[in-house]
Amino acid sequence: IDVVHLIASERVDRRPSLTRRPTSDRPAVHRCPLLNRCALLLLGLCAGVRRDSSMAHNDLTRFSKKIVSLFWDPLPKNEDASEIWCLGRRYDSRYHEHRSQPSKINGSSSSAVSDSDVSQADSAVVTEANQKPEESAENGKNDLANSKIDLNCAGSEEEAFGWPPEFLDDLEARIWLTYRNNFPPIPKSNDPGASSAMSFSTKLRNWGNQTGFTSDTGWGCMIRSGQSLLANSLAVLRLGRDWRVGQDEHQHKELLSLFADAPEAPFSIHKFVEHGAQACGKHPGEWFGPSATARSLQALTDRYSAAGIRVYARPDDGDVYADSVFATATQKDADDKFQATLIVLGVRLGIDRITPVYHAALKAALEMPQSVGIAGGRPSSSHYFIGHQADNFFYLDPHTTKPSLSSQPSPEDIQTCHTRRLRRLNISEMDPSMLLGFLIHSKQEFEEWRKAVAETTGKAIIHVHDKEVNYATGTERPGAVDEVETWDEATGEEDDGGDEA
């Protein structure tokens, strides 16, 4: 009810921008009375139709959050002294430093503006035809001065929110792949069941479009998260873990071209959809799950050996077999040399929410030096998680539609693949179905990773074994039955005979 009143009265604050331009990762949203009335009507219908349903509260809450996020999307503040982790790197929070020296901008807090947004828009100096050269030069100096002021303000703003600059630099260095539009059409399926597999919003967006899908908005978020996981694995492999935006631009550009929105690109959305239709039972326009994404990653890297990376996929569990990993890493090398291998594990850590006994192990997974992130984490809506601070997980959100990525990425294309915009989600709100990724460079590193997995506190989510189990013999993993726990046992409550969660 409060959300309805806020939207209807237009009292929901929009996230301000220092440069009064939309940031690269979220378009500007203007208050519109018609939109407000539509939101009010939709919320009313949702509440009315599902008033007697046991799921009404959860559905209405989720829907309300989406509506509010259109109008009010503030940058999160660092209000925790806990250490910050990003793909195996630890950063000091510095919370106490910022608390003792508060910083304000024009008397109010504003959300951070990406350096790339400011530099792209503010550094351009345009000379008009009727301008004198002296005036042009003087105006150019003023524009450059203003640009420097804006950049300084953006840096001060980041400090005001308390996030360590080196952590934000690391965040910005992660490759961020999102929804795209205006790419070459992905043909629709002729299968009669294809339409029923699509969401209503996808059907609505593509109604009347007979040429195929030219955008993945509404259905491609898990594919984009999987692309991000693979792209950042290749970035670590080719550019190094310490690479930052602006360095080694040629290699950076070549890497991004592998994920271009074109049928010929080896890791394009076209290739993911093609394999999904052939081997995973996923029609074009249908949402992928972690399992289909893991299988696609493995198949596409097998086809494109020039990428220099292998993928060992366990789409439906967290069991890793050392002999199979070594076979995957050496199968195309005549000298039996270990090639860099991406281990992807599709796990489910609960029913509706992540069971608390897995919290410690999930955090530890992102703290391992071999971690390249987690794809998934939201019901029918995927993110790419790269780190955490205590119970809050940081992620890159693919739910922003941008122009298609070219096979020869321009500087503007490259800017759309990076952001300093921080987003976080509490672990209690994450979906239990997800895809874990770990990049292993050598046999020695595999053994180090295996040791770290074994020493993880809390309930284990990854199990590493020497040899693959032959299920035809009826052999089961020792201790598997003993590991089964109910929710009540996990939370320390006694089973009262009711249904297990």
Query: Is 268 contained in some domain?
Result: yes
The boundaries of the domain holding residue 119 are 113-160
- Whether 64 and 127 map to the same domain: the answer is no
The pLDDT value recorded for residue 105 is 39
Q: Choose the final residue of a domain: 71, 95, 128.
A: 71
Catalytic residue among 221, 252, 261, 275: 221
Question: What is Dmax (Cα atoms) for the chain?
Answer: 87
The pLDDT value recorded for residue 340 is 97
The pLDDT value recorded for residue 61 is 54
Phi (first) and psi of residue 479, to 5 degrees: 85, 0
Question: Does the predicted model carry a pTM greater than 0.85?
Answer: no
Query: Is 90 contained in some domain?
Result: no
Query: Is 500 contained in some domain?
Result: no
Give per-residue pLDDT as tens, 201-260.
665 666 666 678 999 999 999 999 999 999 999 999 999 999 999 999 999 999 999 999
Give yes or no: 302 in active site. no
Catalytic residue among 252, 270, 388, 399: 399
- Whether 15 and 129 map to the same domain: the answer is no
Asked whether the beta carbons of 347 and 434 are under 8 A apart, the reply is yes
Give per-residue pLDDT as tens, 103-125.
443 444 333 333 333 333 333 32
Q: Which residues pair with 389 in a beta bridge?
A: 392
- DSSP output for 219-256: T-HHHHHHHHHHHHHHHHHHT-TT--TTSSHHHHHHHH
- Whether 121 and 263 map to the same domain: the answer is no
- Whether 67 and 136 map to the same domain: the answer is no
Give yes or no: 399 in active site. yes
Query: Is 501 contained in some domain?
Result: no
- Whether 373 and 452 map to the same domain: the answer is yes
Query: Is 416 contained in some domain?
Result: yes
- Whether 131 and 198 map to the same domain: the answer is no
Whole-angstrom distance, CA of residue 481 vs CA of residue 473: 18
Identify the three-state secondary structure at position 383: strand
Catalytic residue among 25, 115, 122, 397: 397
Whole-angstrom distance, CA of residue 275 vs CA of residue 160: 46
The pLDDT value recorded for residue 133 is 37
The pLDDT value recorded for residue 253 is 97
- Whether 34 and 134 map to the same domain: the answer is no
Count the neighbouring beta carbons within 10 Å of the beta carbon of residue 334: 6
The pLDDT value recorded for residue 75 is 85
The pLDDT value recorded for residue 237 is 98
Supply 328's token pair: 């995957």
Query: Is 497 contained in some domain?
Result: no
Q: How many domains in the chain?
A: 3
- Whether 242 and 328 map to the same domain: the answer is yes
- Whether 458 and 328 map to the same domain: the answer is yes
The pLDDT value recorded for residue 345 is 98
Phi (first) and psi of residue 279, to 5 degrees: -125, -15
- Whether 130 and 185 map to the same domain: the answer is no
- Whether 403 and 256 map to the same domain: the answer is yes
- Whether 35 and 130 map to the same domain: the answer is no
The pLDDT value recorded for residue 69 is 58
Residue numbers in the chain where pLDDT is lower than 50? 1-31, 33-34, 36-37, 40-41, 43-59, 102-153, 488-501
Q: Choose the final residue of a domain: 138, 160, 182.
A: 160
